[in-house]
A = this chain, B = another copy of it.
Amino acid sequence: MPITITGFQTFDLRFPTSQQLDGSDAMNPDPDYSAAYVVLTTDSDELSGHGMTFTIGRGNEVCVTAIRSLAELLVGTRVDQLMADPVTLYRKITGDSQLRWIGPEKGAVHLAAAAVINAVWDLWARIQQKPLWQAVCDMTPDQIVSCIDFRYLTDALTPAAAVELLQPLATSKAKRIEQLQDSGYPSYTTSAGWLGYSDDDLTQKCADLKTRGWSHFKIKVGRDLDDDIRRCKILRREMGDDAFMMVDANQVWDVPQAIAWIRELAKFQPWFVEEPTSPDDILGHAAIAKAIAPIRVATGEMCHNRVMFKQFMQSGGMQVCQLDSCRLGGVNEVLAVMLLAAKFQIPVCPHAGGVGLCEYVQHLSIIDFVCVSGTLDGRITEYSDHLHEHVRHPVTMKSGRYMPPSDQGYSVEFTEAAINEFSYE
């Protein structure tokens, strides 16, 4: 029986994380992790599609408004017809001739597009009774490429070249899936490094995380250089010289300032430097990357679409691709960016944390390993310890690694208790 989308509900969920200074950094001192959440209802009692986009509090209402405008476009649509040629879904949601003016493909309307598009992917996976990652891994290279809108990409990557990239990996997927079922996908955590934490907190959290199996740690920097040096020293001391330390400036520097500041932190041997300047400044990132080499530049959590990623990769401004599952236009555009990264041989290390993001990205990293990159070398996916109790099927971690989820869909269905307690007026 074909399934038809018959309506939708939206929810403005906000978790008061600012009270504990979880998530505090130089640019975002007081986030309240939030989800603009949509449930697509269907003509089947058992089937619904769940999608969300992530924000840090105020502004979540704007995304909810945009989700309503976009979800409306799907009411009356049959899922099998929409997904027969999956780029149709992307174009329908991001290409509305009037709505595109308030983007295009950026800002609130694109964050909302992620929620709506991902809700369809969730529904589509549930119809097949598979977790999302498995439903995608079961696609052929041609089918995966047919998810992607190549508009504005063909100077860097054509559909034919994309199929060619995927083809050599198509016969060995089962082996990599087995590997992940056995030992999981590696993660790193920011749970220790928030700027709002005291030195004692930092020391204690480091010890705790090390015990639990992590070897990659991220620390927030950029507010005060002396503070940064002191906190980097603590992290290095606690974690040891073999641990991987990443520093994250959350966009606080101008280009010349970034170069000078990073040189001061170079002695702590950061594995990469994240978001040294404006997320829009492609040429600025390229200038910084050139000046601080061999230290690598990581960015992407605020990179708003595939056209921007294309340029970051073309220009040499991005050595680590931290795509965001909610900022890009859903699974379709994530696949586009993963293929660009494969083309430019840049590791994809998705952004996560917040709420719901870890649940989303576990699927994406599996897809990247199984279908697109074929390797775990230099790949590591962000993880944060917070708020997992509010989704029905939270991530399972083992020794600091994401274990492949077995529940159907895309894993961001919120519990009734969370909806009741955290719905925002």
Q: A residues bordering B, Cβ < 8 Å?
A: 27-32, 55-59, 61-63, 65-66, 69, 96-111, 151-155, 251, 254-257, 277-284, 287, 302, 304-305, 307-308, 310-311, 314-315
Contacts and interface: CB of A to CB of B under 8 A. Distances in A.
A120 to B, nearest CB: 19
Given A28-B98, A56-B97, A280-B304, 13 more contacts: A28-B101, A30-B98, A55-B101, A55-B102, A61-B65, A62-B69, A63-B102, A102-B111, A104-B251, A104-B279, A107-B109, A108-B109, A155-B254
Q: How many copies does the complex hold?
A: 2
B98 A102 contact: no
A257 B284 CA distance: 28
Given A56-B98, A65-B62, A152-B254, A106 B107 contact: yes
Contacts of A66: 59, 62, 108
Contact of A62 (B32, B109, B257, B314): B109
Contacts of A315: 283
A351 to B, nearest CB: 12
A56 B97 CA distance: 9
A399 B152 CA distance: 40
B311 A281 contact: yes
Contacts of A277: 152
Leading 9 A-B pairs by shortest Cβ distance: A107-B107, A57-B98, A58-B98, A155-B255, A108-B108, A59-B102, A152-B278, A65-B65, A280-B307
Instruction: Report which residue of A29, A97, A287 has the largest number of chain B beta carbons within 10 angstroms of its beta carbon.
Output: A97
Contact of A108 (B107, B251, B280): B107
Contacts of A287: 155
Most B CB within 10 A of own CB, among A102, A255, A257, A287: A102
A69 B58 CA distance: 8
A56 B307 contact: no
B102 A62 contact: yes
Contacts of A101: 28, 31, 55-57, 59
A30 B63 CA distance: 24
A97 B279 contact: no
Given A102-B62, A109-B59, A109-B107, A278 B256 contact: no
Given A152-B277, A280-B106, A61 B69 contact: yes
A112 B345 CA distance: 39
A96 B254 contact: no
Given A98-B32, A101-B56, A308 B280 contact: yes
Contact of A282 (B31, B57, B311): B311
A39 B61 CA distance: 21
Nearest to A255: B155
B280 A305 contact: yes
B307 A278 contact: yes
Q: Which of A107, A151, A281, A308 has the most CB of B within 10 A?
A: A107
Nearest to A251: B104
A228 to B, nearest CB: 19
Given A65-B65, A108-B109, A98 B281 contact: no
A150 to B, nearest CB: 8
